[in-house]
Structure 1
Amino acid sequence: MNMWKRLRPRSTAKTTSPQNSQRMLRKFTLHTTPAVTYAVGDIHGHFDLYRKLEAQIIADAAAFHGPALIILLGDMIDRGPNSAQLLDHLITPPPDGITRVCLRGNHEDMFLHALDTPSGAKDWITWGGAQTLASYGIHPDPETGYEFDSTRWRQTLAAAIPQSHRSFLRDMPLCVSLPDWFFSHAGINPERAIDDQTKDDLIWGNPSALAGRGFAKRIVHGHVPVDEVRFDKGAINVDTGAFVTGVLSAVRLVKDHDVRPMNVTLHTPDPIL
């Protein structure tokens, strides 16, 4: 049985954008631990790196007997060159025995806001959205301040961005909770219980607030780049700044075993560290 069917969604408050008003932002809970879980840091449009890392993960998972779960920790798009191609890949099913869950990061959130609200596009474009638009063949003119009138913006995006990509982005959950680990893009607000985290806590929060603190579950996140996968008392940061460093990282999590980091780079063979 695919473990996705056992992931139980819990809804947060409704979103406020016009097209999202009837959708609920979701949190997923799995009450049994997969045989092996992999958490992948911020990809930022580097499909080349993710394709290599996913192949490495799939080969590694074959050594385990039971279901494998791959969790992408958000910020899959923007800044890098191939966001559209990455989304094309992520909407296809993974191999049998593997479940892949993609979490919403702040860059996915900005993209969705730009799709729904033309006046919100400028900030997103200057924070890496220009590269995402280029991957769809859209090249806004910086000389005009990246401004679009509403009609032109909607027509351009409607023609270039598939509905399947829009639906995929809107349906991304905010977090996944397993018995021993909790996964979200930006970690949690340590002043709230895990079950009480807001959308902004989970995708826009400050992971440095987790340093030196313990929690009921270990928090696995990205959002703020670090030189290498960082292991703290209560948290693991998997974002190694792929769009700058050319290094995309993941961690392998197995119940009652040590956490094992994995990474790929743009120019060297693919080691399992």
Structure 2
Amino acid sequence: MDLSAFVATHGGVIPSSWLRARRVSSRRLTDALRSGVLIRPRRGWVAVPTADPELIRAAGEGVVITCISLARRRGLWVLKEPEWHVAAPSHAGHVGLPGAVTHWRTPLVPRPPGSLEDEIENMLVQVALCQPDDAALAIWESALRTGRADIDRLRNLPLPEPASRLLDQVTPWSDSGLETIAVVRLRWLGLPLRPQIWIAGHRVDLLIGDRLVLQIDGGSHVGAQRDSDNRHDAELRLRGYHVIRVGYRQVVDNWPEVQALVMAAVAAGLHRRPR
């Protein structure tokens, strides 16, 4: 058996017990480590030198990647990830890992031996307990929208209250985390908020009331996409809609500006259908 190939095909970082179970001798393993074919993140683990550095770090620290760090690794919509989020086993002692957020909660779904990345359901629970409601809901909807999580499996779990509350709020309609965040932050208006509905041949990001359209630009709104958006905005206005178009940074870093624009439009009655 080619040790390097075996480790690489099993994620690049594995418990050394997996090799012993396949009758790899201690001598052969030692030779592979001395020659640099394999490296040892910590006692009981081996890795190929080209393995994912984050997995090597997790093995070296004796933790499992979870919460928003795992959401980012799974390609889900994550607002911000200023710190590394990991889960530690209860027997590790409640000493936080420097430079990381360590979660100690007992997982709802058991983690298989040798896991360095959490189960998706555990990750979503950690997100619900750790992140603000709007950012957490954006991740939950992203997980369900992309098929990473199954809503029926989540409903069958004994979820803690924050996670159960998020499950009651998730919808399949928002096309991105930015739209989810906008909906959560504008609910206090008490107006109908309808994401991703068709008007004039295209979807709009959010319709507030009857006539107020909030369009949120991501990084792809340039070139031909921008031209198409401008044409659609013009068509919306010709049909009597009021359009507010904002960018990613405004939503993420300057939400009060966006909220002020919406409040001014609502105060002027621009969300109502003309009588």
> Which is bigger in relative contact order (C-alpha 8 A, separation at least 6)?
1
TM-score normalised according to structure 1 size = 0.26
TM-score normalised according to structure 2 size = 0.26
Structure whose CA Rg is larger: 2
Instruction: Give 1 or 2: higher strand fraction.
Output: 1
